[in-house]
Structure 1
């Protein structure tokens, strides 16, 4: 299912109010960990899948990448990415991640941030990524953590006063579609176990180098006090892998 919720006007406006949309990577709770999982960008050819506002494309270019391509299904996201990076030489393509077609071994680095939980056939996408990546190249991605995606509600259990009691995990082994609510809209996501995610990486021809379940930094929590609750359960899983 190729879902384009980000081109819904109301959804896009609400997304634009999130800290990571307003202030970029430094207001993304996971960035202080993710950036240390990234390889050297100097003189590299880079592909960003689900590029959104273009923040990671911009970072790659600022770190010396030779060529950077961003792909996103949403026209509004692509337009915003072009606006944010108008002073930089970055190519953007509006298309589903599932439909990407590039030359064999075109890229040194393929990256994706918080996109793969929207993808139904992740194995097909990972095999394409392996095909387009040079031998020894880097594949780094983040996605919503299975602890976060197991229940469609994706919300805390609360007491009668609205205090957060705990984060529920149920039907963890039941992989597949989850219809959840995000920014006031129904959104389709796909739940997978940690083992399923990692085995798909391995079976697609990659060696896993590093795994992270990041927590927000003290600086982020100080800036956004609600972030302190992210210390109570993982929201993202991040993987760094290399093509064999």
Structure 2
């Protein structure tokens, strides 16, 4: 059921992306290697076991809503919900699938409402979503008019979750999630009209290299939307946690917005602007029946939610836009 043949055919007819075809199929095969993902066979079994239900309607332009309960039998709905739970944890969403509400850890719809007003008109644009998870924002971008959306995320489980949903949204839709990191894209591709990187920069050991990689994905005049954790402070200031941050191991740089704007200009972007600053709340990121592990409340100082459990400033997320020259 994980089938990228339509994507490869679409890329063949997309001159900007065609050079990627020389490496992409092997990269995907490596990203979905059973040797790398011991649970991959179980995730594929989930996809094979999903009941055949035809949705009466599909909505991705607003909230993501696929069909309704009347489209299926009670037995099909019970089987569908059981199989979807086998793909736990569900991080990004929410999703409504035949009135089964997948209440994900993150209210990604809230983030979309914050960032979408700052995107250029997506109508007929070629979009790249870096670190896309299971593809929630990819569908919202497609719903906003994008002609093709490619999401990349190294996690094969996110790919399985994406295909569990695409089965019902429509396998023919030009929206794909690839099991890759940004380093898999050809250098200097300069193909995309819009590139989004949300929740990725602080996981990169070299933030300037990541910004250069993002610029390389964009055609001249293309738009970057960057969302990441920041700290309050002045130009030149940056937090580099020596240990963990909010219990996360793989975190590196938390600049101020002024510092981050400077980094973007230094890597060659123009028209750099901070467009949103938002403190993550316990309502936006929390434990649910679909994500039963620790969440934000467990990452903050129980006596002072303005600090992480390690004593760092609590998560503050900035959204910036910039243009490739």
TM superposition score category, shorter chain reference: 0.5 to 0.7
Gaps of 5+ in 2: 1-36, 40-85, 96-101, 289-296, 298-304, 307-312
Match of 1:187 among 249, 271, 280: 249
* Distance (Å, rounded) in 2 between the aligned partners of 1:113 and 1:45: 17
Where do 1:159-178 residues align within 5 Å?
173-175=238-240, 178=243
The answer (yes or no) to whether the contact 2:155–2:179 under 8 Å persists in 1 is yes
* Distance (Å, rounded) in 2 between the aligned partners of 1:67 and 1:47: 9
The answer (yes or no) to whether the contact 2:280–2:316 under 8 Å persists in 1 is no
Residue in structure 1 matched with residue 135 of structure 2 by the alignment: 54
1:85–1:205 Cα change, 3 Å? farther
Shift in Å, 1:47: 0.4
TM-score (normalised: structure 1): 0.68
Residue in structure 1 matched with residue 70 of structure 2 by the alignment: none
Count of matched residue positions in the alignment of Structure 1 and Structure 2: 203
Residue in structure 2 matched with residue 27 of structure 1 by the alignment: 107
User: Which segments of structure 1 move beyond 6 Å, counting only runs of 4 or more?
Assistant: none
Residue in structure 1 matched with residue 223 of structure 2 by the alignment: 138
1:17–1:71 Cα change, 3 Å? closer
The two structures, once aligned, show a CA RMSD in angstroms of: 3.7
Residue in structure 1 matched with residue 275 of structure 2 by the alignment: 211
Residue in structure 2 matched with residue 38 of structure 1 by the alignment: 119
Larger Rg: 2
Residue in structure 2 matched with residue 16 of structure 1 by the alignment: 90
Report SS of the residue matched to 2:278: coil
TM-score (normalised: structure 2): 0.53
1:85–1:146 Cα change, 3 Å? farther
* Distance (Å, rounded) in 2 between the aligned partners of 1:175 and 1:8: 33
Match of 2:211 among 108, 126, 138: 126
Tell me: higher relative CO, structure 1 or 2? Use CA pairs within 8 A at least 6 residues apart. 1
Residue in structure 2 matched with residue 4 of structure 1 by the alignment: none
Shift in Å, 1:125: 1.9
* Distance (Å, rounded) in 1 between the aligned partners of 2:144 and 2:260: 29
1:94–1:19 Cα change, 3 Å? closer
